A and B are shown apart, each in its own frame.
Chain A
Amino acid sequence: MSIEVNGKTLETDEEGYLADLNQWEPGCADVMAAIDDTVLNENHWEVINFLREYYEEYQIAPAVRVLTKAIGKKLGKDKGNSKYLYELFPYGPGKQACKYAGLPKPTGCV
């Protein structure tokens, strides 16, 4: 499988995750979201950017429980809860947001 981003063809796996994480650019997230009939707003981007920073620091995509707690610490309690995150990413904040952010599927995600 592959996606088209700004005239480039980027390879993805069967679940839509980028094959080469280094190829990520913000446009990937918009293209992937469009496939899921989603338009990204600044709240989505807050989570996507957070995930990219987390990956940069720890070299893993956090499990959803860890993500929820960490978001709460950084962005406030009203955002660090599953309801808020699932409203933004109905396919699962771990899986869906990590995919848009160009990260691998979260470790410990089943």
Chain B
Amino acid sequence: MSETKKFLFVNRKAPYGTIYAWESLEVVLISAAFEQDARMAFIDDGVYQIAKGQDTSELGIKNFSPTYNALGDYDINKIYVEKESLEARGLTVDDLLPLTYEDEDDDWAEKDSIKVVSSAELAELMDQSDVILSF
């Protein structure tokens, strides 16, 4: 088995209208099957991908936002949301899906996966990643 790499999946676009958000989510889930260290970042309109209360009934597109709730089961529990992007859209962390995971090393306690970070902190995270995929 080759060594584990740190992947950062950067999501910049609104969830519907383009295929990027769904494609990114699929790649993330697949990378987890290969036991890579996958992290996700949501910036710009990408923050809408994990917004609560999505309703696509008028769009004729499947609402895939429930799938983000499965990320914890896939051991993807490092989800970064850029503070500046939320603020520019008048959103707070309470407007986002309450994504959680169960910490195996802490008696399966349920913990939050989302961490709001500043643009500068995000730059640092990018610097520490081995592979960055931008969607």
Contact = CB atoms under 8 A, between A and B. Distances in A.
B66 A69 contact: no
A35 interface: no
B32 interface: yes
Given A63-B33, A108-B29, A108-B32, A70 B73 contact: yes
Interface residues of B, number: 14
A59 B33 contact: no
Chain A interface SS verdict (over half): loop
Interface residues of A, number: 14
B62 A59 contact: yes
A108 B33 contact: yes
Contacts of B29: 60, 63, 107-108
Interface in B1-47: 26, 29-30, 32-33
26 contacts: A57-B66, A57-B69, A58-B66, A58-B67, A58-B69, A59-B63, A59-B64, A59-B66, A59-B67, A60-B67, A60-B70, A62-B70, A62-B73, A63-B29, A63-B32, A63-B33, A63-B74, A66-B70, A66-B74, A69-B73, A70-B73, A107-B26, A108-B30, A108-B33, A109-B33, A110-B30
Interface of A: 57-60, 62-63, 65-66, 69-70, 107-110
Interface of B: 26, 29-30, 32-33, 62-64, 66-67, 69-70, 73-74
